[in-house]
Amino acid sequence: MIRNLKPQLRFSSSCSQANVELNVVPFFRTEQSSNDYISSLYKQKQYNEALEAFDFLRKNTNHSMSSSSYAYLISACSSLRSLDNGRKVHGHILASKFQPDIILYNHILNMYGKCGSLKDARKVFDDMPERNVVSWTSVIAGYSQNGKGHDAIELYYQMLKSGIMPDQFTFGSVVKACSGGGNVGLGRQLHAQVVKSEVGSHLIAQNALIAMYSKFDQIDDAWNVFSRIATRDLISWGSIIAGFSQLGYDGEALCHFKEMLCHGDYQPNEYIFGSVFSACSSLLHLEYGREIHGICIKFGLGRNIFAGCSLCDMYARCGFLDFARIIFNQIERPDLASWNAIIAGVANNSNVNEALSLFARMRHLRLIPDGLTVRSLLCACTSPLALSQGMQVHSYIIKMGFDSSVSECNTLLAMYAKCSTLSSAFSVFEELGKNADSVSWNSILTACMQHNQAGEIFRLLKLMLVSQNKPDHITLINVIGACAEIASMEMGNQVHCYIMKTGHVLDVYVLNGLIDMYIKCGSLEIASELFDFMEDPNVVSWSSLIVGYAQFGCGVESLELFRRMKRQGVMPNEVTLLGVLSACSHVGLVEEGLQLYRNMETEYGIIPTREHCSCVVDLLARAGHIHEAEAFINQMALDPGVVVWKTLLAACKTHGNVDVGERAAENILKIDPTNSAAHVLLCNIYASSKRWDDVARLRSSMKEMGLRKIPGQSWIEVKNRMNIFFAEDSNHPERDIICTILEELWLQMLDEDREDIVVPLTGLCCPLSLGVAQNLKTQVSYFLDELSPCRYVDPANSTLLATVTGPGAVALLGLAVDQRRLPFLASIATHPPAIVVFLDGLRVKFLCWLLAMLVYILLSSVAAPYIARPPKPTGPASYIGKAF
C-alpha cells in the first residue's frame, strides 16, 4: 500500500503553512509514515520532492529518520548532483547523533564524489570506523570521476596493502583512472590483475579495459578484449564502436555497428549513434549516414540532442548544409555542443556571415560560448575579405578572456595568416611568448611558407631549436619546403642531417618533402636514393619522382617509373598523370600521351584539369602538330586560360608558325591585356620571320603601355649567403668584381689553347670574349637581344647566310683562320651590313680581337643608316646578367 502512495502536493516555499499542514498531516503523523513517504518519493524518482519533504519534516516535526531514509535522501542528492542538499542531510545525521552504519557511510562517500567535493569525501572516508570494498571503491571512483587519476591509483595501492581485494566495480574505477593518465604500462599491469582475479570476466571490468585501450590508441588490444567477451552488453558494443571511430578506423566502426544490429538483441542508444555518425562524417560517405539516420529515427532518437549533434555535424562535413540546418532545428532545446556543431559546419564552408548570425542567436538565448565556439568562428575567416569579421571575433576573445588560451591564440594566428596579414600573425605569436606550443610554432612557420618568406622560416627554426618545443614532422616539412622554394641544397643537406639524427627519416611525409626538395635543387640522384630507401612509398612519393624526371627531360625514366607504380598497384593521382604527360611530351610519345589523356576519367577516375590540357597542348606542339594543338584548345570543355594559350604561343616561336602564334597571342591578350610574356613571345616570332615592322610596332605598343619583360633571375648560395642575379641588372653591388673575375677566367681559357670557346648568351650559342672592350660587349648584347635572332651554325654550312644576314644582323662565330673558311668569309662580305666578329684561339690571341674591334668600328658607319642605335648602356652589367 505504501508503494501506491502518491504525493498530494509539491512542497514549495510559496505554500502557506496552514495549507501545508492540512495536506501533509496524513503522511507525517508517525515516524514510520514519514519514512515510508520519503521512500515512496525516491522510488518514483521524485528526488526534489523527497528533499522538500525532508526539509518540511526537519522544520516542523521531531520525527527521527531511519537509516534507509537517510540513504534514500543521500542518493537523491547524488542523482541531482546537489552538494548543498547533500551537506544539509549529512549535517542532520551528525546533529541527530545517529550512528551511521557502513552502508550509509558508503552512500555519503558516493554522494560527495559525484558532487565533486573530494575534500569532504576524504574526510568522511578517513573518519570511518571500518571500511569495506564498497568504501574503497566509492572514494576511488570519486577521484577517478573528477580527474584525479593519480590519487585514485594511490588509494588503490593502499587498498591492496590493507588486504581488501577489489571487485569488478573497483577495477572499473581504477582502470578508468589509469586511462586518463596515459600510462600504458600501468594499464597492462591492471589488465593482468583483472585476468587473475575472480571477477576478471565481469562486463564492468572488461568494458573499462576496452575504453582504456581505446584511449591509449591501442585499438588491437581493445578489440582483443572485446572479442574474448562471451556475452556482450550494449556498453561493450558502444565502447568498441567509439574506439574505432575515435581512432580513425571508421570502416570498422560501421561494420561492428552492422554486426550489432544483426544480433537483434541490442537497441542502439544515442551514444552509439553519435559514434557511427562521426565515422560517416570522417569517411564523407553520405549514403551510409542517411541510412543510419533512418535507423536512428526508427529507434525514436531523431530529436535526441547527442545523436542530433553528431548527425548535424555529419551533414555539414559532407557539404549538405541545408540538411544540417533541418536537423539542428529539429533538436529539442539544443545545447552548447549542438550550437557548436552547426556553427562549425557553416564555418568550414567559409560562410562567415551565417556563422556570425548563428553566434548572435546563441548569445541571445543566454548560452555562454566556449573556446570551441570562437575557434569555429575564426575558421570561417579564410580570405582577406573576411579580415574585418575576424578582427571582431578577436575583440570578443579579448573581452571574454579567451586570449589567455593557447588554442585560441593558435587559431587567431592561422586566421591572420589566411587573411594575408602576416604582421598581425607575428604579433599574436610574440604575445604567446614562452607559452607557445608546437602548434603555435608550426602555425607561424606555415604562415611564412604561405607568404614565401623562406628566410623567416630559417630564423624561426633557429629560435625553436633553443626553445622548449622541438621540431616535429610538420615543422620539418615546412622547413624542407622553404629549402625547396629557394633551391638551397646546402640548407637542405643540413635539415636532412637533423632529420636523420632525430629519427624523423622514417616518416613518409618527411621523406616525400626531402624527395621534392632534392628534385627542385637539381639532385635527381639523391632523390632517387631516398625513394628506394622508402619501405612503402605512397602516391605522393611516386608522383614526386615521376614529375622530377619529367621536369629534367628524363622522359624514359619517368615512364618506366610510372609502369613500376602501376605494377605495384598504386593508383595515380592528378599530379602523377601531369608528370607522365610531361614525360611523353619530352620523348615524343604523342599517341601514348593522347591515349593516357583519353583514359584518365574511365581508367583512373580523374577528371582532366586545365593543367592536364596544357600538357597535351605541349605534347602536340612540341612534336610540330601546331594546328592539332590549336584544334584541341578550341574543343576543350574548360576555359583554356592564359597558361594553355601561352604553351601554344611558345611552341609557335619554336616552330616559326606566325599565323597560329598571332591567334594564340590574341587570345592571351583578351584575357590579360598587360601580359608582357605574350608580347615578347610574339615579338620574337615576328623577328624570326624578319617582320621588322611588326617588331617595331609591337615594341612601341609595349612602351606605350609601360610593359617590360620580366627579367630572368638566377642565384647561387655560397657560405650561407644567397647571391641573386638578374638579367640586364646594372645595379649589382659587386658587378665590377664579377667582371674582373670573368675576364681572368677568359684569359686562363686562352692559355689552355682552346680554339673555339662558346659562351651561352640569351638562349643563343655565341663565342664571345669576356675581355672585349665594354662598348663592343654592350652593343653586341643589345643587337643579339633586341634586333635579330642569331645562332651558331657550322661555317661550312652555306645556309648560314639565311640566319645571320638582314638589317642590323650580328654574327658572332667561333672561327679559326684557315684556308677552308676563306670562301665563307667572301660570301659573308657580299651581304652588308652584317657585322661579323671573329674569335680565335691561342694562335692569333689578341691580334684577332684587335682585328675584330677594327672590323666593328669600320662597319659601324656602314650599318648606321640601317639601325636605330639605342642609348649606350652604362657598365657591363647587362652582359653579365645574360652570362649568368
Q: Is residue 813 within a helix (H) or strand (E), and if so which, with residue range?
A: strand 810-814
Supply the DSSP string of 227-243, one letter for each residue.
HT-SS--HHHHHHHHHH
Name the phi and psi angles at 723, rounded to 5: -100, 120
DSSP helix, strand, coil percent of the chain (3-state; round to 5): 70, 5, 30
The number of CA neighbours under 13 Å toward the Cβ of 173 is 29
Q: Name which of 336, 333, 296 is nearest 314 in CA terms.
A: 296
pLDDT along the chain (884 residues), means of 10: 38 41 57 85 90 86 84 92 92 85 92 93 92 94 91 93 92 91 89 90 92 93 93 93 94 94 88 93 89 92 89 90 91 89 89 90 90 90 87 90 86 88 89 89 92 90 90 92 88 92 88 92 91 90 92 88 91 91 88 89 88 90 89 87 88 86 86 82 84 83 77 70 71 76 76 48 34 36 36 36 36 37 39 38 44 55 44 33 28
Q: Name which of 326, 314, 323, 223 is nearest 274 in CA terms.
A: 314
Q: Name which of 276, 266, 271 is nearest 234 in CA terms.
A: 266
What is the spatial distance between Cα 669 and Cα 658, in angstroms, rounded to a whole number? 16
Kindly tell me the sign of the dihedral angle through the C-alpha atoms of 5, 8, 10, 11: negative
What is the spatial distance between Cα 625 and Cα 618, in angstroms, rounded to a whole number? 10
pLDDT at residue 108, as a whole number: 93
In DSSP terms, 235 is beta-bridged to none
What is the spatial distance between Cα 388 and Cα 401, in angstroms, rounded to a whole number? 20
Supply the DSSP string of 442-463, one letter for each residue.
HHHHHHHHHTT-HHHHHHHHHH
Name the phi and psi angles at 724, rounded to 5: -110, 140
Question: Residue 567 has which C-alpha cell?
Answer: 605494377
What is the spatial distance between Cα 359 and Cα 94, in angstroms, rounded to a whole number? 49
> How far, in whole angstroms, is CA 618 from its chain's centroid?
32
Question: Residue 735 has which C-alpha cell?
Answer: 658587378
- 750 CB neighbour count, 10 Å cutoff: 18
What is the spatial distance between Cα 824 and Cα 317, in angstroms, rounded to a whole number? 75
Q: Could you list the beta-strand ranges (E) of 328-394.
A: none
Q: What is the pLDDT of residues 439-476, one digit of tens each?
A: 999 999 999 998 888 889 999 999 999 988 889 999 99
- 348 CB neighbour count, 10 Å cutoff: 18
How would you classify residue 350: left for phi > 0, otherwise alpha for psi between -120 and 50, otherwise beta? left
Do the beta carbons of residue 495 and residue 483 sit within 8 Å?
Answer: yes
Q: Which amino acid is at 297?
A: I
Instruction: For cell 572516508, name the residue.
Output: 125
What is the spatial distance between Cα 71 and Cα 54, in angstroms, rounded to a whole number? 12
Do the beta carbons of residue 155 and residue 143 sit within 8 Å?
Answer: yes
Q: Name which of 178, 182, 246, 183 is nearest 209 in CA terms.
A: 178
In DSSP terms, 766 is beta-bridged to 759
> In angstroms, what CA-CA distances link 647 with 165, 397, 541, 598, 653?
80, 50, 27, 20, 10
Question: Residue 91 has which C-alpha cell?
Answer: 549535517
* Residues in contact with 665: Cβ distance below 8 Å, sequence separation at least 6, in sequence order: 645, 649, 678, 679, 681, 682
pLDDT at residue 753, as a whole number: 53
Beta strands 835-839; 810-814: pairing state: parallel
Do the beta carbons of residue 675 and residue 669 sit within 8 Å?
Answer: yes
What is the spatial distance between Cα 615 and Cα 574, in angstroms, rounded to a whole number? 12
In DSSP terms, 607 is beta-bridged to none
> In angstroms, what CA-CA distances link 434 with 137, 364, 438, 456, 466?
41, 37, 11, 19, 12
What is the spatial distance between Cα 448 and Cα 429, in angstroms, rounded to a whole number? 12
- 365 CB neighbour count, 10 Å cutoff: 9
Q: Is residue 389 within a helix (H) or strand (E), and if so which, with residue range?
A: helix 387-400
Do the beta carbons of residue 347 and residue 355 sit within 8 Å?
Answer: yes
What is the spatial distance between Cα 299 and Cα 119, in angstroms, rounded to a whole number? 42
What is the spatial distance between Cα 295 and Cα 730, in angstroms, rounded to a whole number? 75
Compute the C-alpha angle 469/474/476, nearest 5°: 80
pLDDT at residue 73, as a whole number: 92
Under DSSP, the state recorded for 874 is P
Do the beta carbons of residue 220 and residue 214 sit within 8 Å?
Answer: no
pLDDT at residue 26, as a whole number: 59
What is the spatial distance between Cα 671 and Cα 663, in angstroms, rounded to a whole number? 13
What is the spatial distance between Cα 269 and Cα 140, in angstroms, rounded to a whole number? 28
- What's the residue count for the chain? 884
Compute the C-alpha angle 165/171/174, nearest 5°: 110
Question: Residue 213 has which C-alpha cell?
Answer: 585501450
Q: Name which of 270, 208, 272, 285 is nearest 246 in CA terms.
A: 272
What is the spatial distance between Cα 389 and Cα 376, in angstroms, rounded to a whole number? 13
pTM for this entry = 0.65
Question: Residue 302 has which C-alpha cell?
Answer: 531523431
Under DSSP, the state recorded for 201 is T
Domains of the chain: 457-705 (1.25.40.10), 718-883 (no CATH)
How would you classify residue 333: left for phi > 0, otherwise alpha for psi between -120 and 50, otherwise beta? left
Instruction: For cell 670557346, name the residue.
Output: 757
What is the spatial distance between Cα 807 and Cα 820, in angstroms, rounded to a whole number? 27
What is the spatial distance between Cα 630 and Cα 648, in angstroms, rounded to a whole number? 7
